[in-house]
Amino acid sequence: MSIPQQGGGPIERREQLAEYISSGEKPAENWRIGTEHEKFGFTWDDLKPLPYDGKRSIKAMLEGLRDRFGWKQVVEGDHLIGLERDGANISLEPGGQFELSGAPLETVHQTCDEVNAHLAEVRQVADEIGAGFIGLGAAPEWSQAEMPMMPKGRYALMTPYMETVGTLGTQMMYRTCTVQVNLDYASEADMVRKLRVGLALQPVATALFANSPFLDGKPNGMKSWRAHIWQNLDEARTGMLPFVFEDGFGYDAWVDYVLDVPMYFVYRDGRYINALGQSFRDFLNGRLPALPGEVPTLSDWADHMTTVFPEARVKKYIEMRGADGGPWRRLCALPALWVGLLYDQGALDAAWDLVKGWDHETREGLRRAAAREGLAGHANGVRLDELSRQVLDIAEAGLKARARPGAGGLIADETHFLNALRESVDSGTTPADELLGKYHGEWQGDLSNIYREYSY
C-alpha cells in the first residue's frame, strides 16, 4: 500500500485532475523502471508470521535496516511504519508483508541489482533475529486470525470496509503478496496503448507467475489464489476495465472512473479521516461529509488514485498488477517482461496487434482461466500457453531492440532475465505447478517444507 502523499495546493479546476496524470509524461530517453515486491516474514522456530512488535518482529526488521544500512525512517504517530533511501522505500502491507518499492531506474540490470541488494540486507537482519522471508502469492498455512495488523490508520479503516464488499477483501489485505512494475509513458496516446496492452495481457503475467496454490495448509483449487481473490472483491475498484478499450479513452475518462470509486479516507496532519463510501466529486464541490466546506488538494487526489485496484492502474505512470509474489529470479523477470513489451515501439505495436481483436468476454475469460489453471487455461479459443510463448517472443525482441548492456558491457542486453519465464512456457509448468508437485510428492502433504526450500 502506498505511503500517503504530501503537499499540493487546493484543486480549483476539475482539469487539474487530468493534468496531474499528464504531468507524468516523459520522453523515451527519460523512461524509468520501478519494481515493487512484497514478501511474507516468519519466525523460524515456529513458522508463524512476524508480529509488528517485539524482539523478532517487523519493527525489529525496520530498525535493523535503518540502523545498519542508512535508511531514513517513516513514522505514523508513534509507530515506525516504513523506510526511505535514494528514491526507494520500504513499506508495510496490512498483514506485515514487507514491500520494497524500488527507485526509478534505467535498466532491468539495475533494478535486479537493487532487488538483490535489498534481499541481502533483509537476510542479514532477519538471520540475526531468527526470522525468514518467503516469496509466495498467498500465505500457505496461516489463518486470517493469525495474521497481525500493522499500526497504520489506513488499514484500520479499510479492514471493516473490506468485510462489507465482495467476499475475499480481508484475505487480499492480509494474506497475499505481489510483484509489480511501474512504467512511464510519453503522451496520452502512448498511455492509452500501453494501458490497453497491459490490461489485455495481464492474464499472461498471472499465469506465468502463478504461485499461490495453497491456503490454510492445503491446496485451494487455484494456481493463483491471489488472482482469484481480486476477482471476488469490491467491483467498484477492480477488474479489466472494458471502458479503457472504447473509442475516445484517455486521461479524462480515467479521471471519471476514479471519481466514481467510493473514497476510503482523507489524510490530514498525520492521521486518516474516515471518508468510507463518500464521493470525491462531492469533495471537489466542498460537500464531503467528512470535511464539510473543505476542498481537496492534489495530494488528496494522489491518495485517492491509490485506492483503485484494477489489473493495471494509471497514476503518473502505469502499474502492472497481475503477478503473484515469487522466488528471487522472477522478481527480475516481471520487469523484463513488461519493459520488453512496452518500451520498444515495435514490440508495443506487435503486442497490440496480438490483442486488439479481443472482446471483453475474452479478456475476462483469460483472467479467470489464468487464476484457475495457469498456463493450461484458455478462453474463446485463446490458449494461455500459446499466447505466453508469443508474448515472450515479442518481449525478447523488444529487449534486444533496447540493447541495454549490463555487467560492464559483458551482457549485451536484458533478454536473459526472461529465462525463468521461457522455462515455464517450454515445460508448461508454473511455480504453482512445481509447489503442488512437491506437496503431493516428496513433501507428502507437509507444507512446513515450503519455508526451508523457498525462503529468500
Q: For the segment 415-450, what is each residue's pLDDT rounded down to a tens digit?
A: 999 999 999 999 999 999 999 999 999 999 999 999
4 pLDDT more than 70: no
166 pLDDT above the threshold of 80: no
Burial class (CB in 10 A: 0-12, 13-18, 19+), 206: buried
Scanning 137-277, the segments in alpha helix (DSSP H) are: 153-162, 169-175, 188-208, 225-230, 251-259
CATH of residue 167's domain is 3.30.590.20
Establish if 347 belongs to a structural domain: yes
Q: How many CB atoms lie within 10 A of CB 285?
A: 9
Give the pLDDT band (50/70/90) at residue 323.
very high
The answer to whether position 1 is within a domain reads no
pLDDT in tens, 251-291: 999 999 999 999 999 999 888 999 999 999 999 999 999 99
DSSP label at residue 87: T
Query: How does pLDDT run across 334-377, given as a tens digit for each residue?
Result: 999 999 999 999 999 999 999 999 999 999 999 999 999 999 99
260 domain-assigned: yes
CB 35, CB 115: distance < 8 Å: yes
> Does any domain span residue 152?
yes
Work out the pLDDT band at 163, boundaries 50, 70, 90: confident
Report the range of poorest mean pLDDT among 72-76, 155-159, 184-188, 306-310.
155-159
Long-range contacts of 351-357 (CB under 8 A, 24+ apart): 351/197, 351/201, 351/391, 351/394, 352/193, 352/196, 352/197, 354/201, 354/387, 354/390, 354/391, 354/394, 355/196, 355/197, 355/200, 355/201, 356/196
- Phi (first) and psi of residue 132, to 5 degrees: -135, 165
Q: Does any domain span residue 60?
A: yes
Locate cell 499472461: which residue?
Answer: 204
Domain that holds residue 141: 15-454
* 209-218 confidence digits (pLDDT tens): 999 999 999 9
Number of domains in the chain: 1
Q: Model's pTM, two decimal places?
A: 0.96
| pLDDT attached to residue 7 | 57
Q: Is residue 8 part of a domain?
A: no
Residue 269: predicted pLDDT: 87
Q: Could you tell me if residue 140 is inside a domain?
A: yes
Percentage above 90 pLDDT, the chain: 92
* Structural domain includes residue 54: yes
Residues 21-40 have a mean pLDDT of 98
Position 384 confidence tier, pLDDT thresholds 50, 70, 90: very high
